[in-house]
Structure 1
Protein backbone atom coordinates (compact mmCIF):
# COMPACT_ATOMS: atom_id res chain seq x y z
CA UNK A 1 0.00 0.00 0.00
CA UNK A 2 1.31 3.43 -0.95
CA UNK A 3 1.22 6.19 1.70
CA UNK A 4 -1.30 8.90 0.87
CA UNK A 5 -1.70 12.29 2.52
CA UNK A 6 -4.92 14.27 2.67
CA UNK A 7 -5.47 18.01 3.12
CA UNK A 8 -8.83 19.79 3.07
CA UNK A 9 -8.41 23.38 1.88
CA UNK A 10 -10.90 26.17 2.54
CA UNK A 11 -9.35 28.94 0.41
CA UNK A 12 -7.66 29.03 -2.98
CA UNK A 13 -4.44 30.25 -1.37
CA UNK A 14 -4.52 27.44 1.18
CA UNK A 15 -5.03 24.88 -1.58
CA UNK A 16 -2.08 26.22 -3.57
CA UNK A 17 0.15 26.19 -0.48
CA UNK A 18 -0.80 22.61 0.37
CA UNK A 19 -0.16 21.50 -3.21
CA UNK A 20 3.28 23.13 -3.22
CA UNK A 21 4.14 21.55 0.15
CA UNK A 22 3.48 18.01 -1.11
CA UNK A 23 5.41 17.07 -4.28
CA UNK A 24 3.30 14.68 -6.32
CA UNK A 25 0.02 16.02 -4.92
CA UNK A 26 -3.25 16.14 -6.86
CA UNK A 27 -6.30 18.35 -6.41
CA UNK A 28 -9.48 16.44 -5.56
CA UNK A 29 -12.89 17.72 -6.66
CA UNK A 30 -15.53 15.26 -7.78
CA UNK A 31 -12.90 12.55 -8.21
CA UNK A 32 -14.84 10.81 -10.98
CA UNK A 33 -11.71 10.33 -13.11
CA UNK A 34 -8.86 10.69 -10.62
CA UNK A 35 -10.11 7.96 -8.29
CA UNK A 36 -10.54 5.55 -11.22
CA UNK A 37 -6.96 6.20 -12.32
CA UNK A 38 -5.72 5.67 -8.77
CA UNK A 39 -7.44 2.28 -8.70
CA UNK A 40 -5.71 1.35 -11.96
CA UNK A 41 -2.32 2.50 -10.69
CA UNK A 42 -2.02 5.13 -13.42
CA UNK A 43 -2.13 7.92 -10.83
CA UNK A 44 -0.22 7.53 -7.57
CA UNK A 45 -0.47 10.90 -5.82
CA UNK A 46 1.49 11.53 -2.64
CA UNK A 47 -1.32 13.69 -1.27
CA UNK A 48 -4.88 14.66 -2.17
CA UNK A 49 -5.71 18.33 -1.71
CA UNK A 50 -9.49 18.40 -1.31
CA UNK A 51 -10.86 21.62 -2.82
CA UNK A 52 -14.57 20.91 -2.32
CA UNK A 53 -14.84 23.47 0.51
CA UNK A 54 -13.57 26.32 -1.68
CA UNK A 55 -16.16 29.03 -2.54
CA UNK A 56 -16.15 28.14 -6.24
CA UNK A 57 -19.55 26.49 -6.59
CA UNK A 58 -21.66 29.30 -8.06
CA UNK A 59 -22.68 30.62 -11.47
CA UNK A 60 -22.36 34.41 -11.29
CA UNK A 61 -23.65 36.99 -13.77
CA UNK A 62 -21.15 39.81 -14.15
CA UNK A 63 -22.00 43.49 -14.85
CA UNK A 64 -20.97 43.20 -18.51
CA UNK A 65 -23.43 40.34 -19.08
CA UNK A 66 -20.88 37.53 -19.05
CA UNK A 67 -21.16 34.51 -16.75
CA UNK A 68 -18.48 33.23 -14.42
CA UNK A 69 -18.83 29.53 -13.68
CA UNK A 70 -17.04 28.39 -10.54
CA UNK A 71 -14.71 25.43 -10.93
CA UNK A 72 -16.73 23.40 -8.42
CA UNK A 73 -20.11 23.83 -10.12
CA UNK A 74 -21.33 20.30 -10.80
CA UNK A 75 -21.92 19.35 -14.42
CA UNK A 76 -25.61 18.58 -13.82
CA UNK A 77 -26.18 21.93 -12.10
CA UNK A 78 -24.44 23.83 -14.89
CA UNK A 79 -26.41 22.05 -17.62
CA UNK A 80 -29.69 22.87 -15.85
CA UNK A 81 -28.89 26.48 -14.93
CA UNK A 82 -31.53 28.80 -16.48
CA UNK A 83 -29.01 31.36 -17.73
CA UNK A 84 -26.85 28.68 -19.34
CA UNK A 85 -29.81 26.98 -21.01
CA UNK A 86 -31.14 30.31 -22.28
CA UNK A 87 -27.92 32.06 -23.35
CA UNK A 88 -25.49 29.21 -24.05
CA UNK A 89 -27.56 26.17 -25.11
CA UNK A 90 -24.56 24.54 -26.79
CA UNK A 91 -22.91 24.20 -23.38
CA UNK A 92 -25.98 22.67 -21.76
CA UNK A 93 -26.32 20.21 -24.66
CA UNK A 94 -22.66 19.21 -24.48
CA UNK A 95 -22.82 18.58 -20.74
CA UNK A 96 -25.94 16.44 -21.05
CA UNK A 97 -24.26 14.41 -23.80
CA UNK A 98 -21.48 13.36 -21.44
CA UNK A 99 -21.31 10.55 -18.90
CA UNK A 100 -24.35 9.46 -16.87
CA UNK A 101 -26.66 11.39 -14.59
CA UNK A 102 -24.91 10.04 -11.50
CA UNK A 103 -21.48 11.07 -12.77
CA UNK A 104 -22.70 14.52 -13.83
CA UNK A 105 -24.01 15.04 -10.30
CA UNK A 106 -20.47 14.54 -8.94
CA UNK A 107 -18.22 15.84 -11.72
CA UNK A 108 -17.06 19.46 -11.51
CA UNK A 109 -16.43 22.09 -14.17
CA UNK A 110 -12.70 22.16 -13.43
CA UNK A 111 -12.43 18.40 -13.25
CA UNK A 112 -14.21 17.98 -16.56
CA UNK A 113 -11.48 20.03 -18.25
CA UNK A 114 -8.70 18.13 -16.48
CA UNK A 115 -9.91 14.57 -17.06
CA UNK A 116 -7.43 12.27 -18.78
CA UNK A 117 -7.80 10.36 -22.02
CA UNK A 118 -9.80 7.12 -22.00
CA UNK A 119 -7.27 5.44 -24.32
CA UNK A 120 -7.08 1.81 -23.19
CA UNK A 121 -3.30 1.80 -23.64
CA UNK A 122 -2.97 4.78 -21.29
CA UNK A 123 -5.03 2.95 -18.66
CA UNK A 124 -3.22 -0.41 -19.00
CA UNK A 125 0.12 -0.42 -17.15
CA UNK A 126 1.28 -3.45 -19.13
CA UNK A 127 1.15 -1.51 -22.42
CA UNK A 128 3.55 1.18 -23.72
CA UNK A 129 2.19 4.73 -23.55
CA UNK A 130 4.11 7.95 -24.09
CA UNK A 131 1.39 9.95 -22.32
CA UNK A 132 1.63 7.85 -19.17
CA UNK A 133 5.36 7.07 -19.37
CA UNK A 134 7.25 9.23 -21.90
CA UNK A 135 9.64 7.37 -24.14
CA UNK A 136 7.97 3.96 -23.95
CA UNK A 137 6.13 4.25 -27.26
CA UNK A 138 2.49 4.43 -28.36
CA UNK A 139 0.77 1.05 -28.33
CA UNK A 140 -2.36 2.47 -29.92
CA UNK A 141 -0.68 3.33 -33.23
CA UNK A 142 -0.41 -0.33 -34.25
CA UNK A 143 -3.16 -1.56 -31.95
CA UNK A 144 -6.87 -0.92 -31.47
CA UNK A 145 -7.43 2.73 -32.39
CA UNK A 146 -10.94 3.08 -33.79
CA UNK A 147 -11.81 5.85 -31.32
CA UNK A 148 -8.50 7.68 -31.55
CA UNK A 149 -7.47 10.89 -33.29
CA UNK A 150 -7.87 11.50 -37.01
CA UNK A 151 -6.58 15.08 -36.75
CA UNK A 152 -4.03 16.62 -34.41
CA UNK A 153 -2.13 13.44 -33.57
CA UNK A 154 1.64 13.01 -33.55
CA UNK A 155 4.12 10.15 -33.85
CA UNK A 156 4.22 10.13 -30.05
CA UNK A 157 0.49 9.89 -29.30
CA UNK A 158 -2.87 9.48 -31.06
CA UNK A 159 -5.11 9.71 -27.98
CA UNK A 160 -8.03 12.13 -27.78
CA UNK A 161 -9.42 14.20 -24.93
CA UNK A 162 -12.84 12.93 -23.80
CA UNK A 163 -14.51 16.18 -22.66
CA UNK A 164 -17.73 17.18 -24.43
CA UNK A 165 -17.86 20.41 -22.43
CA UNK A 166 -14.43 21.53 -23.67
CA UNK A 167 -15.65 21.45 -27.28
CA UNK A 168 -18.56 23.76 -26.47
CA UNK A 169 -16.36 26.14 -24.45
CA UNK A 170 -13.96 26.49 -27.38
CA UNK A 171 -16.82 27.37 -29.73
CA UNK A 172 -18.08 29.98 -27.25
CA UNK A 173 -14.66 31.67 -26.95
CA UNK A 174 -14.76 31.01 -23.21
CA UNK A 175 -11.74 31.52 -20.98
CA UNK A 176 -10.37 29.24 -18.26
CA UNK A 177 -9.42 31.08 -15.06
CA UNK A 178 -6.41 29.82 -13.10
CA UNK A 179 -4.66 30.58 -9.83
CA UNK A 180 -1.11 29.61 -8.90
CA UNK A 181 2.00 30.77 -7.10
CA UNK A 182 2.38 33.64 -9.58
CA UNK A 183 -1.20 34.83 -9.06
CA UNK A 184 -4.30 34.70 -11.25
CA UNK A 185 -4.43 34.42 -15.03
CA UNK A 186 -6.77 33.17 -17.73
CA UNK A 187 -6.28 31.34 -21.02
CA UNK A 188 -8.67 30.84 -23.95
CA UNK A 189 -10.56 27.57 -23.69
CA UNK A 190 -9.61 26.81 -27.29
CA UNK A 191 -5.92 26.94 -26.34
CA UNK A 192 -6.17 25.27 -22.93
CA UNK A 193 -5.69 21.70 -24.20
CA UNK A 194 -2.46 20.91 -26.04
CA UNK A 195 -1.93 18.78 -29.11
CA UNK A 196 0.36 15.87 -28.18
CA UNK A 197 3.37 16.93 -30.27
CA UNK A 198 6.56 15.61 -28.68
CA UNK A 199 5.23 16.10 -25.12
CA UNK A 200 2.08 13.98 -24.96
CA UNK A 201 2.34 13.73 -21.17
CA UNK A 202 1.33 17.41 -20.92
CA UNK A 203 -2.40 17.56 -21.64
CA UNK A 204 -3.00 21.26 -20.97
CA UNK A 205 -1.32 24.64 -20.66
CA UNK A 206 -1.83 24.62 -16.89
CA UNK A 207 1.35 25.30 -14.92
CA UNK A 208 2.56 23.11 -12.05
CA UNK A 209 0.48 23.81 -8.95
CA UNK A 210 -2.12 25.94 -10.71
CA UNK A 211 -5.76 25.42 -9.83
CA UNK A 212 -8.71 26.06 -12.12
CA UNK A 213 -10.93 28.55 -10.30
CA UNK A 214 -13.58 29.12 -12.95
CA UNK A 215 -14.66 29.48 -16.55
CA UNK A 216 -15.75 32.81 -18.06
CA UNK A 217 -18.54 32.69 -20.65
CA UNK A 218 -18.40 35.90 -22.73
CA UNK A 219 -21.37 38.21 -23.11
CA UNK A 220 -20.66 38.42 -26.85
CA UNK A 221 -21.72 34.79 -27.29
CA UNK A 222 -24.87 35.04 -25.16
CA UNK A 223 -28.06 34.29 -27.06
CA UNK A 224 -26.36 33.34 -30.31
CA UNK A 225 -27.76 30.29 -32.15
CA UNK A 226 -25.71 27.28 -31.11
CA UNK A 227 -25.81 23.49 -31.03
CA UNK A 228 -23.74 20.46 -30.06
CA UNK A 229 -23.75 17.14 -31.90
CA UNK A 230 -22.01 13.92 -30.93
CA UNK A 231 -21.54 10.65 -32.83
CA UNK A 232 -21.08 7.63 -30.56
CA UNK A 233 -21.61 3.91 -30.42
CA UNK A 234 -24.74 4.09 -28.26
CA UNK A 235 -27.25 6.73 -27.25
CA UNK A 236 -25.94 7.35 -23.73
CA UNK A 237 -22.85 7.01 -21.55
CA UNK A 238 -20.41 6.68 -24.44
CA UNK A 239 -17.45 8.82 -25.43
CA UNK A 240 -17.51 10.59 -28.77
CA UNK A 241 -16.28 9.04 -31.98
CA UNK A 242 -16.65 12.57 -33.33
CA UNK A 243 -18.29 15.71 -31.97
CA UNK A 244 -18.87 19.28 -33.05
CA UNK A 245 -20.01 22.49 -31.38
CA UNK A 246 -21.32 25.37 -33.48
CA UNK A 247 -21.99 28.97 -32.46
CA UNK A 248 -23.43 31.09 -35.27
CA UNK A 249 -22.22 34.68 -35.54
CA UNK A 250 -23.74 36.70 -38.38
CA UNK A 251 -22.01 39.88 -39.56
CA UNK A 252 -23.02 42.41 -42.20
Structure 2
Protein backbone atom coordinates (compact mmCIF):
# COMPACT_ATOMS: atom_id res chain seq x y z
CA UNK A 1 0.00 0.00 0.00
CA UNK A 2 1.34 3.43 -0.97
CA UNK A 3 1.57 6.42 1.39
CA UNK A 4 -1.46 8.73 1.64
CA UNK A 5 -2.78 11.51 3.83
CA UNK A 6 -5.84 10.92 5.99
CA UNK A 7 -8.54 13.30 7.19
CA UNK A 8 -11.95 12.84 8.77
CA UNK A 9 -14.85 14.90 7.42
CA UNK A 10 -17.27 16.51 9.87
CA UNK A 11 -20.04 17.32 7.40
CA UNK A 12 -20.90 16.73 3.72
CA UNK A 13 -19.81 20.23 2.68
CA UNK A 14 -16.26 19.86 4.00
CA UNK A 15 -16.04 16.31 2.64
CA UNK A 16 -16.95 17.28 -0.91
CA UNK A 17 -14.75 20.39 -0.88
CA UNK A 18 -11.72 18.45 0.29
CA UNK A 19 -12.16 15.75 -2.31
CA UNK A 20 -12.89 18.17 -5.13
CA UNK A 21 -9.63 19.99 -4.41
CA UNK A 22 -7.52 16.88 -5.02
CA UNK A 23 -8.07 14.78 -8.17
CA UNK A 24 -6.23 11.86 -6.53
CA UNK A 25 -8.30 11.81 -3.32
CA UNK A 26 -10.89 9.16 -2.45
CA UNK A 27 -13.78 8.93 0.00
CA UNK A 28 -13.56 6.19 2.62
CA UNK A 29 -16.86 4.87 4.00
CA UNK A 30 -17.06 1.16 4.82
CA UNK A 31 -13.79 0.52 3.01
CA UNK A 32 -14.73 -3.02 2.00
CA UNK A 33 -13.65 -2.48 -1.62
CA UNK A 34 -11.30 0.51 -1.56
CA UNK A 35 -8.91 -0.91 1.04
CA UNK A 36 -8.60 -4.18 -0.85
CA UNK A 37 -7.81 -2.31 -4.06
CA UNK A 38 -5.21 -0.18 -2.30
CA UNK A 39 -3.53 -3.30 -0.90
CA UNK A 40 -3.38 -4.76 -4.41
CA UNK A 41 -1.89 -1.47 -5.76
CA UNK A 42 -4.86 -1.05 -8.10
CA UNK A 43 -6.12 2.11 -6.40
CA UNK A 44 -3.40 4.62 -5.52
CA UNK A 45 -5.05 7.61 -3.81
CA UNK A 46 -2.77 10.31 -2.44
CA UNK A 47 -5.40 11.32 0.13
CA UNK A 48 -8.24 9.58 1.97
CA UNK A 49 -11.24 11.54 3.24
CA UNK A 50 -13.07 9.50 5.87
CA UNK A 51 -16.83 10.09 5.63
CA UNK A 52 -17.91 7.19 7.83
CA UNK A 53 -19.02 9.54 10.61
CA UNK A 54 -21.41 11.64 8.53
CA UNK A 55 -25.09 11.42 9.45
CA UNK A 56 -26.40 10.11 6.18
CA UNK A 57 -27.79 6.85 7.47
CA UNK A 58 -31.53 7.44 7.91
CA UNK A 59 -34.19 5.35 6.20
CA UNK A 60 -37.43 7.33 5.95
CA UNK A 61 -40.62 7.68 3.88
CA UNK A 62 -40.60 10.27 1.08
CA UNK A 63 -43.39 12.82 1.50
CA UNK A 64 -43.01 14.88 -1.67
CA UNK A 65 -41.50 14.96 -5.15
CA UNK A 66 -41.15 12.30 -7.83
CA UNK A 67 -40.85 9.45 -5.34
CA UNK A 68 -43.69 10.58 -3.03
CA UNK A 69 -44.89 7.56 -1.13
CA UNK A 70 -41.56 5.82 -1.60
CA UNK A 71 -38.56 5.45 0.67
CA UNK A 72 -35.26 7.29 1.09
CA UNK A 73 -32.20 5.24 2.10
CA UNK A 74 -29.19 7.05 3.52
CA UNK A 75 -26.06 6.76 1.40
CA UNK A 76 -23.89 5.95 4.41
CA UNK A 77 -26.28 3.49 6.03
CA UNK A 78 -25.02 -0.07 6.30
CA UNK A 79 -26.17 -2.80 3.94
CA UNK A 80 -27.33 -4.92 6.87
CA UNK A 81 -29.55 -2.14 8.21
CA UNK A 82 -31.11 -1.57 4.80
CA UNK A 83 -31.80 -5.27 4.23
CA UNK A 84 -33.43 -5.70 7.63
CA UNK A 85 -35.42 -2.47 7.84
CA UNK A 86 -39.14 -3.30 8.22
CA UNK A 87 -40.24 -0.81 5.54
CA UNK A 88 -37.83 -2.31 3.03
CA UNK A 89 -38.76 -5.87 3.93
CA UNK A 90 -42.45 -5.05 3.56
CA UNK A 91 -42.45 -2.77 0.51
CA UNK A 92 -39.22 -3.69 -1.30
CA UNK A 93 -38.49 -7.36 -0.51
CA UNK A 94 -36.62 -7.58 -3.82
CA UNK A 95 -33.99 -5.26 -2.37
CA UNK A 96 -33.71 -7.23 0.85
CA UNK A 97 -33.19 -10.45 -1.10
CA UNK A 98 -30.52 -8.90 -3.31
CA UNK A 99 -28.53 -7.41 -0.42
CA UNK A 100 -28.61 -10.66 1.53
CA UNK A 101 -27.40 -12.54 -1.56
CA UNK A 102 -24.20 -10.50 -1.59
CA UNK A 103 -20.89 -10.92 0.24
CA UNK A 104 -21.05 -12.13 3.85
CA UNK A 105 -22.72 -10.97 7.04
CA UNK A 106 -19.49 -9.38 8.25
CA UNK A 107 -19.01 -7.40 5.04
CA UNK A 108 -22.66 -6.31 4.95
CA UNK A 109 -22.21 -4.98 8.50
CA UNK A 110 -19.41 -2.70 7.24
CA UNK A 111 -20.39 -1.89 3.65
CA UNK A 112 -22.43 1.25 3.02
CA UNK A 113 -25.30 1.65 0.58
CA UNK A 114 -23.53 4.32 -1.46
CA UNK A 115 -20.28 2.40 -1.39
CA UNK A 116 -22.05 -0.71 -2.66
CA UNK A 117 -23.02 1.17 -5.82
CA UNK A 118 -19.43 2.34 -6.32
CA UNK A 119 -17.65 -0.99 -5.94
CA UNK A 120 -15.43 -1.83 -8.85
CA UNK A 121 -15.27 -4.89 -11.08
CA UNK A 122 -13.80 -8.15 -9.83
CA UNK A 123 -12.25 -8.89 -13.23
CA UNK A 124 -8.96 -10.71 -12.47
CA UNK A 125 -7.17 -8.70 -15.15
CA UNK A 126 -8.18 -5.50 -13.34
CA UNK A 127 -6.79 -6.82 -10.05
CA UNK A 128 -3.54 -8.19 -11.51
CA UNK A 129 -1.29 -5.15 -12.04
CA UNK A 130 1.10 -7.14 -14.23
CA UNK A 131 -1.64 -7.63 -16.84
CA UNK A 132 -2.99 -5.07 -19.33
CA UNK A 133 -6.25 -3.43 -18.30
CA UNK A 134 -7.78 -0.31 -19.81
CA UNK A 135 -9.92 0.20 -16.72
CA UNK A 136 -6.87 0.33 -14.46
CA UNK A 137 -4.44 1.92 -16.96
CA UNK A 138 -6.20 3.48 -19.97
CA UNK A 139 -4.52 2.57 -23.24
CA UNK A 140 -2.79 -0.55 -21.93
CA UNK A 141 -5.23 -2.99 -23.55
CA UNK A 142 -7.75 -5.55 -22.28
CA UNK A 143 -6.25 -8.85 -21.20
CA UNK A 144 -9.66 -10.50 -20.95
CA UNK A 145 -10.52 -10.09 -24.63
CA UNK A 146 -8.19 -12.91 -25.69
CA UNK A 147 -7.68 -14.35 -22.22
CA UNK A 148 -9.82 -16.32 -19.80
CA UNK A 149 -13.17 -14.55 -20.08
CA UNK A 150 -15.65 -17.01 -18.56
CA UNK A 151 -16.96 -14.40 -16.08
CA UNK A 152 -17.18 -11.50 -18.48
CA UNK A 153 -19.81 -9.45 -20.33
CA UNK A 154 -22.24 -10.61 -22.99
CA UNK A 155 -24.05 -7.26 -23.32
CA UNK A 156 -22.80 -3.72 -23.84
CA UNK A 157 -19.07 -4.49 -23.97
CA UNK A 158 -16.51 -2.74 -26.15
CA UNK A 159 -13.08 -3.50 -27.56
CA UNK A 160 -11.65 -1.58 -24.62
CA UNK A 161 -13.32 -3.56 -21.81
CA UNK A 162 -15.45 -6.67 -21.25
CA UNK A 163 -15.59 -6.53 -17.43
CA UNK A 164 -18.85 -6.95 -15.52
CA UNK A 165 -20.26 -4.98 -12.62
CA UNK A 166 -20.38 -6.99 -9.35
CA UNK A 167 -23.08 -5.56 -7.05
CA UNK A 168 -26.23 -7.53 -6.16
CA UNK A 169 -27.93 -4.60 -4.43
CA UNK A 170 -27.64 -2.46 -7.56
CA UNK A 171 -29.40 -5.02 -9.75
CA UNK A 172 -32.48 -4.79 -7.53
CA UNK A 173 -32.23 -0.99 -7.48
CA UNK A 174 -32.20 -0.96 -11.29
CA UNK A 175 -35.42 -2.99 -11.38
CA UNK A 176 -36.93 -0.69 -8.76
CA UNK A 177 -36.19 2.47 -10.81
CA UNK A 178 -34.20 3.99 -7.95
CA UNK A 179 -32.93 7.56 -7.93
CA UNK A 180 -29.45 8.41 -6.62
CA UNK A 181 -29.19 11.77 -4.82
CA UNK A 182 -25.75 13.40 -4.80
CA UNK A 183 -24.21 16.65 -3.56
CA UNK A 184 -21.14 18.47 -4.87
CA UNK A 185 -18.55 20.84 -3.36
CA UNK A 186 -20.71 23.89 -4.12
CA UNK A 187 -23.57 22.45 -2.10
CA UNK A 188 -25.62 21.77 -5.21
CA UNK A 189 -27.77 18.65 -5.23
CA UNK A 190 -28.83 16.60 -8.22
CA UNK A 191 -30.78 13.43 -8.85
CA UNK A 192 -29.52 10.68 -11.16
CA UNK A 193 -31.86 7.99 -12.43
CA UNK A 194 -30.41 4.58 -11.76
CA UNK A 195 -30.25 3.67 -15.43
CA UNK A 196 -27.97 6.69 -15.96
CA UNK A 197 -25.82 6.26 -12.86
CA UNK A 198 -23.48 3.51 -14.13
CA UNK A 199 -21.81 3.55 -17.54
CA UNK A 200 -21.06 1.08 -20.30
CA UNK A 201 -17.32 0.95 -21.09
CA UNK A 202 -17.23 2.49 -24.57
CA UNK A 203 -13.89 4.23 -25.03
CA UNK A 204 -13.59 5.22 -21.35
CA UNK A 205 -13.80 2.00 -19.29
CA UNK A 206 -11.93 3.69 -16.45
CA UNK A 207 -15.14 5.59 -15.69
CA UNK A 208 -17.61 3.37 -13.87
CA UNK A 209 -20.30 5.98 -13.14
CA UNK A 210 -21.49 9.42 -14.20
CA UNK A 211 -20.55 10.94 -10.86
CA UNK A 212 -18.28 13.97 -11.06
CA UNK A 213 -15.17 13.89 -8.90
CA UNK A 214 -16.04 15.14 -5.43
CA UNK A 215 -19.75 14.33 -5.61
CA UNK A 216 -21.09 12.50 -2.58
CA UNK A 217 -24.01 10.05 -2.58
CA UNK A 218 -26.37 11.34 0.11
CA UNK A 219 -29.31 8.98 -0.43
CA UNK A 220 -30.93 6.41 -2.69
CA UNK A 221 -34.63 7.05 -3.27
CA UNK A 222 -37.09 4.29 -4.09
CA UNK A 223 -40.39 5.20 -5.77
CA UNK A 224 -43.49 3.24 -4.73
CA UNK A 225 -44.19 0.04 -6.65
CA UNK A 226 -47.06 -2.39 -7.12
CA UNK A 227 -45.13 -5.64 -7.29
CA UNK A 228 -43.78 -6.15 -3.77
CA UNK A 229 -45.67 -9.44 -3.42
CA UNK A 230 -44.61 -10.66 -6.88
CA UNK A 231 -40.87 -10.09 -6.99
CA UNK A 232 -37.78 -12.24 -6.71
CA UNK A 233 -33.99 -11.98 -6.86
CA UNK A 234 -32.25 -14.97 -8.41
CA UNK A 235 -28.48 -15.36 -8.16
CA UNK A 236 -26.65 -18.13 -10.00
CA UNK A 237 -23.04 -18.62 -8.90
CA UNK A 238 -20.29 -21.19 -8.74
CA UNK A 239 -20.77 -21.82 -5.02
CA UNK A 240 -23.60 -21.25 -2.60
CA UNK A 241 -22.14 -18.31 -0.68
CA UNK A 242 -19.54 -15.57 -0.84
CA UNK A 243 -19.34 -15.64 -4.64
CA UNK A 244 -20.20 -13.14 -7.33
CA UNK A 245 -22.97 -13.86 -9.81
CA UNK A 246 -22.45 -15.72 -13.05
CA UNK A 247 -25.96 -14.47 -13.82
CA UNK A 248 -28.44 -12.72 -11.55
CA UNK A 249 -31.98 -11.54 -12.26
CA UNK A 250 -34.15 -9.11 -10.32
CA UNK A 251 -37.76 -9.54 -11.43
CA UNK A 252 -41.02 -7.85 -10.46
CA UNK A 253 -44.49 -8.27 -11.95
CA UNK A 254 -47.32 -5.78 -11.54
CA UNK A 255 -50.48 -7.76 -12.23
CA UNK A 256 -53.88 -6.68 -13.44
CA UNK A 257 -57.07 -8.72 -13.84
CA UNK A 258 -57.28 -12.06 -15.59
CA UNK A 259 -53.64 -13.05 -15.06
CA UNK A 260 -52.54 -10.11 -17.23
CA UNK A 261 -49.20 -8.41 -16.64
CA UNK A 262 -49.56 -4.64 -16.39
CA UNK A 263 -45.84 -4.04 -16.15
CA UNK A 264 -42.71 -6.13 -15.72
CA UNK A 265 -39.41 -5.00 -14.22
CA UNK A 266 -36.35 -7.10 -15.00
CA UNK A 267 -32.68 -6.31 -14.41
CA UNK A 268 -29.67 -8.59 -14.82
CA UNK A 269 -26.27 -8.86 -13.19
CA UNK A 270 -23.13 -10.66 -14.29
CA UNK A 271 -23.76 -9.77 -17.94
CA UNK A 272 -22.58 -6.18 -18.47
CA UNK A 273 -20.41 -3.32 -17.24
CA UNK A 274 -23.49 -1.95 -15.42
CA UNK A 275 -26.78 -3.32 -14.13
CA UNK A 276 -28.49 -4.49 -17.32
CA UNK A 277 -32.14 -3.52 -17.62
CA UNK A 278 -33.87 -6.19 -19.70
CA UNK A 279 -36.07 -3.75 -21.61
CA UNK A 280 -36.93 -6.07 -24.50
CA UNK A 281 -38.20 -8.71 -22.11
CA UNK A 282 -40.18 -6.09 -20.18
CA UNK A 283 -41.75 -4.69 -23.35
CA UNK A 284 -42.73 -8.15 -24.56
CA UNK A 285 -44.50 -9.02 -21.30
CA UNK A 286 -46.55 -5.83 -20.97
CA UNK A 287 -50.24 -6.67 -21.42
CA UNK A 288 -49.65 -10.41 -21.82
CA UNK A 289 -50.66 -13.28 -19.58
CA UNK A 290 -48.19 -14.54 -17.01
CA UNK A 291 -47.53 -17.94 -18.55
CA UNK A 292 -44.44 -20.10 -18.85
CA UNK A 293 -44.56 -19.71 -22.62
CA UNK A 294 -44.63 -15.92 -22.45
CA UNK A 295 -41.80 -15.90 -19.91
CA UNK A 296 -39.74 -18.03 -22.31
CA UNK A 297 -40.49 -15.77 -25.27
CA UNK A 298 -39.58 -12.70 -23.23
CA UNK A 299 -36.26 -14.28 -22.26
CA UNK A 300 -35.60 -15.21 -25.89
CA UNK A 301 -36.24 -11.61 -26.94
CA UNK A 302 -33.76 -10.28 -24.39
CA UNK A 303 -30.99 -12.79 -24.94
CA UNK A 304 -31.12 -12.57 -28.74
CA UNK A 305 -28.71 -9.61 -28.66
CA UNK A 306 -26.12 -11.28 -26.43
CA UNK A 307 -22.56 -11.29 -27.78
CA UNK A 308 -20.64 -13.93 -25.84
CA UNK A 309 -16.87 -14.32 -25.78
CA UNK A 310 -14.87 -17.52 -26.27
CA UNK A 311 -15.31 -18.86 -22.75
CA UNK A 312 -18.72 -17.53 -21.67
CA UNK A 313 -21.10 -18.79 -24.34
CA UNK A 314 -22.86 -20.72 -21.58
CA UNK A 315 -24.14 -17.41 -20.21
CA UNK A 316 -26.62 -17.04 -23.09
CA UNK A 317 -28.55 -20.20 -22.21
CA UNK A 318 -28.02 -19.61 -18.49
CA UNK A 319 -29.37 -16.07 -18.84
CA UNK A 320 -32.40 -17.32 -20.75
CA UNK A 321 -33.24 -19.94 -18.14
CA UNK A 322 -32.54 -17.52 -15.28
CA UNK A 323 -34.99 -14.91 -16.60
CA UNK A 324 -37.70 -17.56 -16.92
CA UNK A 325 -37.08 -18.95 -13.44
CA UNK A 326 -36.92 -15.51 -11.81
CA UNK A 327 -40.25 -14.55 -13.41
CA UNK A 328 -41.85 -17.80 -12.29
CA UNK A 329 -40.58 -17.32 -8.75
CA UNK A 330 -41.79 -13.71 -8.75
CA UNK A 331 -45.23 -14.79 -9.94
CA UNK A 332 -45.35 -17.32 -7.09
CA UNK A 333 -44.36 -14.76 -4.50
CA UNK A 334 -40.85 -16.14 -4.16
CA UNK A 335 -41.91 -19.77 -3.82
CA UNK A 336 -40.77 -22.55 -6.14
TM-score bucket (shorter structure): over 0.9
CA contact (8 A) 1:176 1:189 kept: yes
> Which residue in the other structure is 1:72 paired with?
76
> Which residue in the other structure is 1:61 paired with?
61
State the shift of 1:223 in Å: 3.4
CA contact (8 A) 1:94 1:228 kept: yes
- In the alignment, the residues of structure 1 paired with residue 34 and residue 216 of structure 2 have an alpha-carbon distance, to the nearest angstrom, of 15
- In the alignment, the residues of structure 2 paired with residue 232 and residue 59 of structure 1 have an alpha-carbon distance, to the nearest angstrom, of 30
Matched, 1:115 2:119: yes
> Which residue in the other structure is 2:35 paired with?
35
Q: What is the TM-score normalised by the length of structure 1?
A: 0.96
CA contact (8 A) 1:169 1:190 kept: no
Residue 211 of structure 1: which of 181, 191, 216 is its match?
A: 216
- In the alignment, the residues of structure 2 paired with residue 249 and residue 192 of structure 1 have an alpha-carbon distance, to the nearest angstrom, of 25
1:116-135 superposed matches below 5 A: 116-135=120-139
Matched, 1:146 2:146: no
State the shift of 1:14 in Å: 0.9
- In the alignment, the residues of structure 1 paired with residue 23 and residue 213 of structure 2 have an alpha-carbon distance, to the nearest angstrom, of 10
Unaligned runs of 5+ in 2: 256-261, 263-286, 288-336
State the shift of 1:221 in Å: 5.1
Rg larger in structure:
2
Deviation sequence 1:97-156 (CA, Å, 0-9, x none): 000111010000010000000000000110000000011100011111111111111111
CA contact (8 A) 2:79 2:113 kept: yes
CA contact (8 A) 2:8 2:50 kept: yes
1:45-194 superposed matches below 5 A: 45-63=45-63, 64-182=68-186, 183-194=188-199
> Which residue in the other structure is 1:235 paired with?
240
State the shift of 1:52 in Å: 1.0
CA contact (8 A) 2:228 2:252 kept: no
Q: 1:221 to 1:106 in 2, by over 3 A?
A: farther
- In the alignment, the residues of structure 1 paired with residue 7 and residue 229 of structure 2 have an alpha-carbon distance, to the nearest angstrom, of 42
Higher relative contact order (CA 8 A, sep 6+): 1
CA contact (8 A) 1:75 1:95 kept: yes
1:5-16 superposed matches below 5 A: 5-16=5-16
Matched, 1:245 2:223: no
CA contact (8 A) 2:227 2:253 kept: no
- In the alignment, the residues of structure 2 paired with residue 170 and residue 102 of structure 1 have an alpha-carbon distance, to the nearest angstrom, of 25
State the shift of 1:70 in Å: 0.4
| More divergent stretch after superposition (121-130 vs 174-183) | 174-183
- In the alignment, the residues of structure 2 paired with residue 135 and residue 223 of structure 1 have an alpha-carbon distance, to the nearest angstrom, of 45
- In the alignment, the residues of structure 2 paired with residue 209 and residue 222 of structure 1 have an alpha-carbon distance, to the nearest angstrom, of 36
